[in-house]
Amino acid sequence: MADFERKITTALEESQEDIVSFIQTLVRSPSLANDEGPVQEVIQGKLETLGLDTEKIIVKFDKLKDHPAFCDDGFSPDSRVNIVGKWHNDGGGRSLILNGHVDVVPTGPENLWNKSPWSGYIKNGRIYGRGSCDMKAGLSAGIFAVQVLQSIGFKPDGNIMIQSVIGEESGGCGTLTNIVKGYSADAAVILEPTSLKVCPIQSGALTFRLTLSGRATHAATRWDGVSAIEKFNLIQQSILQFENERHDSFNEAYFESKDRVAPINIGTIKGGDWHSTVPESVVVEGRFGVFPSETTSNARHAFEDFISKISNNDPWLKENPPVIEWFEGQFESGQTDLDDPLIHTLIDAIVKSTGDSPIIEGVTYGSDLRLFTNHAHIPAVLFGPGDLRLAHAANEYVEIDEVLKTIKIIANMIVDWCGGTFD
């Protein structure tokens, strides 16, 4: 083990209490969409204590609306800000972006939580609370990787940029703002919860709304009407088969399961307005998965053709076809070549830091990775602490040990990627 690696380990041990406390502070600052300001102030303050050149960037939709990757998430843009911290050094080394989002999803019924979703309490080596896993711990890991390196006298040859962004959960307007502003680097690590797996491939996801019409009548004469809910059932019964058929035509080795790459999910169903009335309409919203090898346009056409095929087999739906709307999150797929130097450097850092052989895996969710790879043309990878399955659930948590491992890995990666010297 090199001397600087031992110093990183020692500095990390000495900083553990500070790391845990900082994550708790972030969790205890609720940051639902359009209310990210207070937590961004905490992060900016932390970056300033590290001597980073910080900038507060207002997310303005009028600057983004004409961009092909823009998704209007329906929230007020002018009150929402990104924070960027820059560790400058023009020594000629490669530059790196460490990216993480602070926006979190709603908690759901709070009675499902053991304690307040905003408590940040610790139990059995875990930090609990909304955003702990997704992804305030990951963002914190990037920040403390810089702090640890500074504490042992490291000076990078390449520039390092920490990006704390908003809007990832609903379309990526935060990261897109930074890209449009011109922020760039030789590579980006997005510190999403991957359970320390190296994830350079992501599926896409499209949000859709499906509206079906029926014919209302009194429930006592149900046969004289047409239930919009029953008509949707015809579609719903075929969705799983459609999903399976799509997966049968897909060939990609780097996913946990070949038949779980681009799932189709029905998230909400709203139909009818009275229990004894045949429902005249139903509105369904859901998520349509996009394969890494598939364009969003082709994915939309596939779903639209499926709906048309089902409708043409039913006399009512043929004459009253469902209306399809695409709205909010329209996430492209994205990927970084597995032979890219970024991937090799991260893998080497994992082996060096932990002795473990890393797992390379694609992810089935949309993320800001596709903005870096497809629009900024920056190789990017998802890597961070936390289990995604906990991310939007009650009693969300992150393992403290995973956070510490992430910091060590990212610190070692910075040394290898950016180059530099030690005092």
How far apart (Å, rounded) are the C-alpha atoms in residues 42 and 26? 8
Task: Please list, in sequence order, all residues whose beta carbon lies within 8 angstroms of the beta carbon of residue 90, skipping any fewer than 6 positions away.
Answer: 159
Dihedral-angle region of residue 165 (phi above 0 means left; psi in -120 to 50 means alpha; beta otherwise):
beta
Of 139, 240, 194, the closest CA to residue 363 belongs to 194
How far apart (Å, rounded) are the C-alpha atoms in residues 291 and 250? 8
SS3 285: strand
How far apart (Å, rounded) are the C-alpha atoms in residues 220 and 375? 57
State the amino acid at position 299 in one-letter form.
Answer: A
Q: How many helices (H) and strands (E) does the chain have?
A: 10, 18
Q: Which residues are catalytic?
A: 103, 168
How far apart (Å, rounded) are the C-alpha atoms in residues 371 and 368? 5
Instruction: Report which secondary-structure segment, H or E, holds 188.
Output: strand 188-190
How far apart (Å, rounded) are the C-alpha atoms in residues 179 and 380? 13
Q: What are the Cα distances from residue 251, in Å, to 200, 237, 246, 369, 382?
A: 16, 25, 10, 21, 21
